[in-house]
């Protein structure tokens, strides 16, 4: 597997590794199978900066905007650019640069996490070092969550050993998920309730819990999914925010956000047209637009439109800013928020069938915020599950790949996408393994349907 140069410096000091590829280190004085990081591990401030660099690496493609949304039935595009059209038509090729960039970013964050985890002492009593270990475990699990959901079976790399990583084969998705759960359970024990007194931009115990809840849900482990979402909802640390406040920095609802220097996100710059007379580059599909109930305030608060030549063009407006902002109007990219946890718990309760009233109550929490009427308690199990899927669609649209992953995990991907794309094939539910990785790693196989 190939890695590109990754630097991070504090006050001009290069912290730790500089790779050109998995098989050759730029620092020829270092052993060929390990990275020299003694300076980093001797200084907590440098360690902290090294962890921050992992977040920066992840953000390079962390929100996958707008690719995952184009790939399913959430947005379309007025652009004729091949990159966007390939996603829109679900005809990705193994040499697609954005797929390669995504793979590199996720594996680079894993590699950085592995190097730090290897360098930390086996027995940790210092709270700062414990939190750093927990963050690295969280970030590794987060990266593998997206790799497994986008690519299926992927190499499970748990060390900074360059030689073994260079020839790694794919591991069964179930094995990778097992490692993710192990990492997160340990991270829960190591991370504090809050990693930062003001901002919500560093993983804490509840971020690890939120990802665990999501993973358990995807695995159909309803009891554990409910337990993890229960813990967050009942913690008292988070509450649902008004619709227009959900994506503000440090909102009451935010569990983990990505800090943005200018106070605005790439979602804003990608989705909001530059002027009111401009056709948006990315427009809401009719399928998504028509999925909202008539009085749903998410339709009016999280979607906007331009009228161009008498035609309405609807675009995503969850994030309101496309230019520099600060103070109370600043927005940070939301990775985990309380709204998702209510929907996880509702689905887990409904699937178990032991607390259908509780499931409906959780759904009504989300519906009430959107000014929708409450669901009645006469719904049967399947009707509740259908209501959960509906609420997930209109609550989580264009966030973090939820729609794509939901369609796959609920077995709806082929029926939905074949009705939306004449070019859809079942193999398209996974992205191609990047061609460059196949070339450099003789043990790495390609996904079905790709060259």
187 and 281 together in one domain: no
pTM over 0.75: yes
Evaluate whether 94 touches 446 at the Cβ level (below 8 Å): yes
Integer-rounded Cα Rg, in Å, for the chain is 22
* Residue 36 CB neighbour total at 10 angstroms: 14
* Residue 429 counted as domain residue: no
* Residue 425 counted as domain residue: no
**Distance between CA 89 and CA 67 in Å, rounded?**
11
Nearest to 161 by CA among 53, 6, 30: 30
Which of residues 134, 161, 191 is at a domain's end?
191
* Residue 277 CB neighbour total at 10 angstroms: 10
Q: What is the pLDDT along the chain (451 residues), one digit of tens a residue?
A: 654 333 333 222 333 443 323 322 223 233 344 444 566 776 788 888 999 999 988 876 445 778 999 999 999 999 999 999 999 999 999 999 999 999 999 999 999 999 999 998 877 778 889 999 999 999 999 999 999 999 999 999 999 998 899 999 999 999 999 999 999 999 999 999 987 667 899 999 999 999 999 999 999 999 999 999 999 999 999 999 999 999 999 999 999 998 877 788 888 888 999 999 999 999 999 999 999 999 999 999 999 999 999 999 999 999 998 887 878 889 999 999 999 999 999 999 999 999 999 999 999 999 999 999 999 999 999 999 999 999 999 999 999 999 999 999 999 999 999 999 999 999 999 999 999 999 999 999 999 999 9
123 and 16 together in one domain: yes
The domain of 303 spans 270-324
pLDDT of residue 196: 67
* Residue 366 counted as domain residue: no
Domain at 183, CATH number: 1.25.40.890
Which of residues 305, 324, 343 is at a domain's end?
324
CA 428 to chain CA centroid, nearest Å: 19
153 and 4 together in one domain: yes
6 and 131 together in one domain: yes
Element (H, E) at 159: none
* Residue 135 counted as domain residue: yes
DSSP 308-346: ETTEEEEEE-SS--SS---GGG-B-EEEEEHHHHHHHHH
Element (H, E) at 73: none
53 and 162 together in one domain: yes
Domain count across the chain: 2
Which of residues 163, 191, 219 is at a domain's end?
191
* Residue 434 counted as domain residue: no
pLDDT of residue 301: 98
pLDDT of residue 367: 98
184 and 283 together in one domain: no
pLDDT of residue 37: 52
* Residue 290 counted as domain residue: yes
* Residue 210 counted as domain residue: no
**Distance between CA 35 and CA 7 in Å, rounded?**
13
pLDDT of residue 56: 87
* Residue 227 counted as domain residue: no
pLDDT of residue 60: 64
């Amino acid at each position: 597997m190939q890695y590109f140069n990754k630097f991070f410096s504090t006050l001009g000091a290069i912290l730790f590794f500089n790779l050109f590829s998995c098989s050759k280190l730029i620092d020829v004085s270092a052993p060929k199978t390990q990275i020299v990081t003694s300076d980093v591990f001797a200084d907590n401030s440098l360690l902290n900066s090294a962890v921050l660099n992992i977040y920066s690496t992840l953000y390079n493609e962390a929100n996958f905007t707008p690719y995952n949304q184009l790939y399913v039935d959430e947005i379309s595009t007025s652009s004729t650019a091949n990159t966007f059209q390939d996603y829109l038509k679900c005809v990705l090729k193994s040499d697609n640069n954005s797929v390669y960039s995504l793979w590199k970013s996720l594996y680079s964050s894993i590699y950085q996490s592995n190097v730090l985890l290897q360098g930390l002492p086996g027995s940790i009593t210092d709270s700062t070092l414990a939190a750093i270990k927990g963050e690295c475990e969280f970030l590794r699990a987060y990266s593998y969550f997206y790799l497994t959901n986008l690519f299926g079976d992927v190499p499970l790399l748990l060390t900074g050993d360059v030689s073994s990583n260079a020839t790694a084969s794919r591991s069964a998705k179930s094995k990778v998920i097992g490692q993710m759960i192990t990492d997160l359970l340990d991270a829960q024990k190591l991370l504090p309730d809050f990693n930062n007194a003001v901002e919500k931009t560093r993983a804490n115990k509840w971020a690890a819990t939120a990802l665990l809840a999501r993973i358990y849900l995807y695995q159909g482990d309803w009891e554990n999914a409910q337990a993890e979402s229960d813990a967050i909802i009942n913690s008292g640390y988070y509450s649902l925010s008004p619709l227009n406040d959900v994506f503000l920095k440090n909102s009451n609802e935010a569990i983990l956000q990505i800090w943005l220097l200018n106070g605005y996100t790439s979602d804003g710059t990608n989705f909001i047209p530059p002027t009111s007379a401009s056709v948006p580059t990315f427009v809401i599909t009719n399928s998504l637009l028509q999925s909202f109930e008539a009085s749903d305030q998410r339709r009016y608060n999280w979607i906007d439109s331009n009228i161009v030549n008498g035609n309405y063009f609807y675009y995503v407006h969850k994030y309101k800013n496309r230019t520099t902002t600060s103070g109370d109007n600043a927005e940070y990219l939301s990775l985990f928020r309380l709204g998702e946890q209510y929907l996880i718990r509702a689905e887990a309760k409904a699937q178990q069938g032991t607390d259908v009233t509780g499931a409906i109550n959780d759904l009504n929490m989300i519906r009430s915020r959107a000014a929708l009427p409450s669901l009645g308690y006469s719904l049967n199990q399947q009707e509740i599950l259908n209501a959960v899927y509906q609420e997930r669609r209109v609550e989580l649209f264009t966030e973090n790949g939820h729609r794509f992953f939901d369609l796959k995990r609920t077995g709806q991907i082929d029926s939905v996408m074949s009705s939306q794309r004449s070019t859809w094939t079942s193999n398209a539910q996974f992205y191609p393994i990047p061609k460059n990785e196949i070339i450099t790693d003789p043990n790495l196989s390609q996904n079905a349907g790709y060259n």
